Chain A
Amino acid sequence: MNPPFRESLLSGEALGQRYALAVPQTALAGATGNQLGRRAGTSIDFQDYREYQPGDDLRTIDWNVFARTDRLTIKLFREEVNPHLDLLLDASRSMDLEATPKAAALLRLAALLATAAENARCTHATWLASDGFLRVANDTLLPSAWEGFNFASRQPLDEAFAILPPRLRRLGIRVLVSDLMWPVDPLAILRRLADGAAAVFVVQLLSQADTEPPEHGNVQLVDSESGEEREIFVDATVAAQYRDALARHRESWDTACRQTGARFVPLVAEKLDTSLPALEEAQLLVPA
């Protein structure tokens, strides 16, 4: 793999040691795992009593209570669950924008989240959205062992959903990391992500080149994905219009996220380290 990418993964992994994934309550349900779920289960941690109902496991009848009350009462124990993080990474060309650290920041953030998930004893899966959603090689291991990152896709994220959708775990925590730089109705994406999810986080990772328009003068803009070119003269008016367009774009995603119960977190690649409190604020990470 590209050495800088490896370094980014290592850096993110080291940074992630300081955090744990904030697992929401809704995520504490599901298959047997190593965490206590919010429902009754088979762990050894007592949770409550309730009357016996036909079909209950006779082994859970508290015979001491039966002896005192002559009523069949069963002991409920906390369920043991294994929360899961599905990390969906945008692997389109725009995420490896030339002269920007977007790709490195993406890998660093992904490694951070995966490591934080490990710290929170969550399983995790990492998906790369290129020509369909594909699992990252070795994604079950530590991020430093991940392989196969290639930011060459020209497919927008919604196309990837259509071609090969990810197999997302129910009640999992789903984090989409992308620059969201394609024209689409955010609700269409978010509804698919939110379906069966415990929590959905949309992290918009932009570079400063994305957030700030070019300096005044003539600029030949080249679309990193389609290769389309446009020549424009950038002045104060055009720069302001660009900032307005970006703000409207973010606003549309934020609104859509709120409509679907997701959280929208905008980040700047160049300021990733200083932007991590935003992830804590969004209750995605907690200090370990």
Chain B
Amino acid sequence: MPFLTYPLALLAAAAIPALAAIYILRNRYRRRQVSSLMLWEFAVLSREGGAKVNKLQLPLVFFLELLALALLVTAATGPRWQLPAHARPLVVIFDDSASMLASSGGAANAPRARAAVALDDLLKSRKFLSIRLVLAGPKPRVLASAVVTAPEVRESLGQWTCQAPDAALDAAIALANDLGGPQSQLLVLTDHAPPGTEFSGDRIQWWAFGTAQPNLAFVNATRTTHGDADRVLLEVANFSATASASAAYRITSGSNLLRSATLNLEPRARQRLILNLPANTPAIEAVLADDALAADNRVTLLPAVRKRIRVQNSLEDVALRTLVDKALDSTGLRSSLSAAPELILHNARVTPAGTNAWGFRILADTNNATSHTGPFIVDTAHPLARGLALDGVVWTTGAGQGTNQFGLPIVTAGNTPLLTTQTDALGREQVTMHLLPDLSTFTATPNWPILFWNLLTWRARETPGVMESNYRLGSEVAIRSLTNTVQLLLPGGASRTLTKSAEEFILEPETPGLYTVVAGVSRWQFAVNLLSPEESDLNTAKTGKWGEWEKPEETRREYASVLWLFVLGALVVMVSHLFLVTHSKGRV
């Protein structure tokens, strides 16, 4: 693409029409009456013989003067031409968030389509050393390897699906900087203005193609267990800044219509819908009427996961066993012992043998009992310690266990471990608790059932299957399986094989919909919904361009001057003009 150092010099181009006007006025046919045409017969015959093509009768020197003038005007602008050796790499950052598909006038008006067209135009008009593509979803991702031509870029844009619940543009820009190097030029294609009042991104151009428009959306959707029933909560928001809206919604389960009504929402208001469903109700689907953004008009909710743990309570002390049973029952996560236990509570100093169950032992040695009132040191990051509040608690333990001989401490009082855990060679967790219930207030506080809720939840998390059945788009889904590979069936019908690299499969679904995991004979399902208020709010969408890739002096370095070419051309034309004038016997 050419670059003009002094574009104002183009004003001199006004001389071109002036020259044309002079010639046209000079060469227009002047009417002249003559006594007779008899003396002009020679000229008439000559014209009729072969000069009819030149109707305007503009002499050749006119075109030469025109060409010389155009060349001189172009030379005056200081033209520069980008040389291939000076081309710089380009890194394009694509906003992959769902709002890039928002459009009330067809897909062609969506920011994604408009951005793709603008990028295509840019690549046709300017050459880059290489082009890297970065997809800005919740985490930035590099699309393919470096490409050079516009068709290659178009081919890669198939992966730009705009389904993400968020676009981490800052992280994507940082990745693009690393990817392209200090000489690279960055182009951000999004639907909103850059952050801050003044955009001063160095080497970055920020192109936005969004349009502010009203939108109704599901912004929250949960389905939780509530006793034996499921409770469904849906939250609908009106993201219009000025207009009230009526949101017609339908909630179905298969072919059964569960509810259909209309919500009247004030500008920027939200409204919640709560449904209580029998636990055996299959997946439900809630749908809003079509509007600017289609992705946030539909949610699918599967029945909540009910994982319960088979617990064998082998504690010897009756009072303590009773206390534990009450705590276990209060969690609602304990199931009957229909099969081998998954958790054994006991008082033995050794690990129960011959079982894959986790162990939870309570050591109540009454010798040299010591009461601890704090301060307690709690590893709050551990699943067992979540929600524990030990201030004011009296925790009494027996003597003799002074050193940490039972693994990683979770709760300690000074250097005295009170609650520890250890993973044995089979991957089982063995939790040890030092506690004299009779001399402690711990069992009388809410910490007691919380501890067992944490214990059962932690254990349930380690059982095969998915932890939850409904996820927001962008959140991690953890799947536990006893097999090393699982088959993941995607909402579109495609499938992927996942290979275990750690204890569990971690995946980040990229599109909303219903997913199925097949692990041997086991099948689990989970649903993913957009539920992203930031993406559904289209009021901040904007169209515009911000930033420059380089300063003019940098551009001059990148572009080589071709002024000499135009001056040389003008000289050649002027010499030709002179030759014609002097050798044409007056026919000029």
Contacts and interface: CB of A to CB of B under 8 A. Distances in A.
B33 A183 contact: no
B38 interface: yes
B44 A94 contact: no
A207 B42 CA distance: 21
Contacts of A214: 30, 32
Interface stretch (A23-31, A160-168, A228-236): A228-236
Interface in A212-264: 214, 216-226, 228, 230-233, 235-238, 241-242, 245-246, 249
Contacts of B44: 230, 232
B35 A242 contact: no
Interface residues of A, number: 38
A97 interface: yes
Interface in B20-50: 26-44, 47
B43 A182 contact: no
A72 interface: no
B105 interface: no
A246 to B, nearest CB: 6
Nearest to A184: B38
Contacts of B47: 230-232
A98 B31 CA distance: 12
B126 interface: no
Contacts of B29: 218-220, 231
Contacts of A228: 37
20 contacts: A210-B35, A214-B32, A217-B27, A218-B27, A218-B57, A219-B31, A219-B32, A220-B29, A220-B30, A221-B40, A222-B34, A223-B37, A224-B34, A230-B43, A230-B44, A232-B43, A232-B47, A233-B57, A241-B42, A245-B39
Interface of A: 94, 97-99, 179, 181-183, 206-207, 209-210, 214, 216-226, 228, 230-233, 235-238, 241-242, 245-246, 249
Given A94-B36, A217-B26, A222 B31 contact: yes
Nearest to A236: B586
Contacts of B26: 217
B520 to A, nearest CB: 96
Contacts of A236: 585-587
A261 B535 CA distance: 113
Contact of A218 (B28, B37, B586, B588): B28
Nearest to B37: A223
A217 B30 contact: yes
Interface of B: 26-44, 47, 57, 585-588
Contact of A97 (B30, B33, B42): B33
A222 B33 contact: yes
Contacts of A224: 33-36
A230 B37 contact: yes
Contacts of A235: 586-588
Contacts of B36: 94, 181-183, 223-225
- Main SS at interface, chain A: mixed
A67 to B, nearest CB: 71
B57 to A, nearest CB: 5
Given A217-B26, A220-B30, A220-B31, A230 B38 contact: no
Residue of B31, B36, B585 with most partner-chain A CB within 10 A: B36
Contacts of A246: 39
Contacts of B28: 218
Contacts of B57: 218, 233
A219 B34 CA distance: 11
- Main SS at interface, chain B: mixed
B42 A245 contact: yes
B581 to A, nearest CB: 12
A181 B32 contact: no
Given A99-B33, A217-B30, A231-B47, 10 more contacts: A94-B35, A206-B35, A209-B34, A218-B27, A219-B31, A221-B37, A221-B40, A222-B32, A223-B37, A245-B41
Nearest to A232: B43
A159 to B, nearest CB: 14
Contact of B35 (A179, A219, A230, A231): A179
Contacts of A183: 36, 38
A231 B37 CA distance: 11
Contacts of B31: 219-220, 222
B34 A221 contact: yes
A231 B44 CA distance: 8
Contacts of B33: 97-99, 221-224
Report, nearest first, the 8 A-B pairs whose CB atoms are least far apart.
Answer: A236-B586, A94-B35, A181-B36, A181-B35, A220-B29, A245-B39, A218-B29, A232-B43
A206 B44 CA distance: 22
A100 B39 CA distance: 18
Contact of A210 (B34, B43, B585, B587): B34
Nearest to A244: B42
A206 B36 CA distance: 12
B281 to A, nearest CB: 93
B32 A221 contact: yes
Contacts of A209: 32, 34
A216 B27 CA distance: 9
A143 B36 CA distance: 29
A210 B38 CA distance: 11
Contacts of B587: 235-237
B34 A218 contact: no
B30 A218 contact: yes
Contacts of A210: 34-35
Nearest to B38: A183
A249 B41 CA distance: 13
A233 to B, nearest CB: 5
Contact of A242 (B27, B39, B585, B586): B39
A196 B292 CA distance: 111
A242 B41 CA distance: 9
Nearest to B31: A220
Given A236-B586, A237-B585, A249 B39 contact: yes
A115 B212 CA distance: 101
A78 to B, nearest CB: 46
Residue of A98, A182, A223 with most partner-chain B CB within 10 A: A223
Contacts of A249: 38-39
A99 B31 CA distance: 12
A2 B276 CA distance: 117
A94 B35 CA distance: 5
Nearest to B51: A233
Contacts of B32: 209, 214, 219-222
Contacts of A182: 36, 38
Contacts of A238: 43
Nearest to A224: B33
A97 B32 CA distance: 10
A53 to B, nearest CB: 57
A183 B40 CA distance: 12
Nearest to B56: A218
A232 B40 contact: yes
B586 A237 contact: yes
A179 B585 CA distance: 31
A189 to B, nearest CB: 15
